[in-house]
Structure formats: structure tokens, C-alpha cells
A = this chain, B = another copy of it.
Amino acid sequence: MFHALLVTFLLLTLTEPAHAGQRQDIFRQAKAATALIVAVNDADHSISIGSGFFVDASGLLVTNAHVIEESTRLYVYIRGQEIYSAPEVVAIDPDLDLAALHVRDTWADSLALEADDPPEGTEVIAVGYPRITDILQLGFVLHATTVPAMVSGLVQGQSRTKGQVAAFLQTTGLLNSGNSGGPLVRIDSGEVSAMVVNTVPYL
């Protein structure tokens, strides 16, 4: 009956200043900077769907390793309009469940990363493409969704493949697997606190 989103800390360096702006601007920019990632595996004819977000103006897009690591073809959908195929995989870390892609010749917005850990009670939105196939089948255009959540706290867990001690941020919200790789964005600053990596199923 409960949904705990457990998200890894981003280990990337904070390279952009804190984004100041209105709440509406923060929501709009968070959606504009969050891409849908479709990873096709031609060997077993499966598709993995996740989210990712741009962290600089050059087109560097970060997501979960588990979203893309089994794929033979990758597609990135930006703002629900532009499609980029075959982005370059710049880096992949299966243990931390992090991957970085480079999407060339795009004008996507990007998000700044928070330097510190967000305190308990921080209001955030998980931005991404949860249940996107159902939403499209209902006749809606492709779009990013914001799901509100609140930071419960830091929790010690285990890294994905090596089982090493790792810090996670816990929050609770109506997320699903399509949120994987998407950002958790502070509503007050627009900065990214974490990346969605795992959920405890609701039932």
C-alpha cells in the first residue's frame, strides 16, 4: 500500500548556479529538460522505457544504467516533439546504476544539480514518463509528467551490482518504472536532488 521511491545521489559535480525563478518556470523547465528514453533490444524483441534529464547545454543526458544497458537501439524523445536516434553512450556504471548519453545538436533545457543533500521535508517533483504507453493509448500527446513527493530522509542501502554501502534518498509518491532515470527536482529551487532508481511496489 506504500510507495517508497529510493533514489541515488548524483555524484556529478555541480557546474551550474542555482536556478532562481517562479514555481511555474521551475515546473516548465523541469519538464522541458526531461527526455523519454526508449531502449530497444532486437535480440529478445523487448523494449525498456525510462526517463533521463539534461545536465548541460551540450546535450549531456543522464539516466539509469538499467534503462539502457540491454539495448541494441536507443531513441530519445525531447519535449514530445523531437526524436534523436543513436545517442552516444558516454559512460555507464552498472553498480551505481548511472549512465550518461550525449545527444548532439539539440536545444534542450538542462537542470542544475544540488550541491548538498536536501533536508527532510523538502518538497520535490519526480519528472518523467510514468505509464506513458497507457497515456498515449488514451489519445493524449506525448508529454512529461510531474509527480509531487516529499523527502523522507537519507537511507543507507546497497549499490546495485557490488552490494557496497551507498546512500539513497527516500521519498513517497505515485511513481512507476517509467520514472526510472528521471530527476527529483526541488520545487523551491529547481535543482536536481537525486535520480529515480528504484521503487518499493505499492501492493
Chain A, interface residues (CB within 8 Å), range: 35 or more
Which B residues are in CB contact (< 8 Å) with A201?
1, 134
Asked if B202 and A1 sit within 8 Å, CB to CB, the answer is yes
Say whether A139 contacts B158, CB under 8 Å.
Answer: yes
* Copies, count: 3
- State the CA gap A4–B140 with chains docked (Å): 12
Dominant SS among interface residues on chain A: mixed
A23 proximal to B (CB < 8 A): yes
Instruction: Please tell me which stretch of A43-51, A53-61, A93-101, A149-157 contacts chain B, meaning at least 4 of its Cβ atoms lie within 8 angstroms of it.
Output: A149-157
A2-B178, A148-B172, A170-B145 in contact; A120/B27 too (CB < 8 A)?
yes
Q: Do the beta carbons of B146 and A150 come within 8 Å of each other? A: yes
Contact across chains for A138 and B174 when beta carbons are under 8 A apart: no
A64: Cβ under 8 A from any B Cβ: no
Bound complex: CA of A6 vs CA of B26, how far in Å?
21
Using known A-B contacts A138-B198, A143-B153, A146-B152, determine if residue A4 contacts B121 with beta carbons closer than 8 Å: no
Using Cβ atoms and an 8 Å threshold, which residues of chain B touch A145?
A: 2, 4, 152, 170, 172
A8 CB–B CB distance under 8 Å: no
Give the contacts of A100-155 with B (CB-CB under 8 A). 119-121, 125, 130-131, 134-135, 138-141, 143, 145-150, 152-153, 155
Mask of A1-17 contacts with B, CB within 8 angstroms, 1/0 = 11110100000000000
Contacting pair A172 B172 (CB below 8 A): no
- Could you tell me the distance in whole angstroms from the C-beta of A26 to the nearest C-beta in chain B? 7
Q: Contact: A163 with B139, CB < 8 Å?
A: yes
Contacting residues, chain B, for A200 (C-beta < 8 A):
131, 134-135, 138
Q: In the complex, what distance in Å separates the CA atom of A199 from the CA atom of B200?
A: 19
CB neighbours of A172 from chain B (8 A): 145-148, 173-174
> 12 A-B contacts, Cβ less than 8 Å apart?
A3-B174, A4-B130, A4-B145, A6-B138, A23-B119, A24-B119, A138-B157, A139-B158, A141-B156, A141-B157, A148-B172, A174-B174
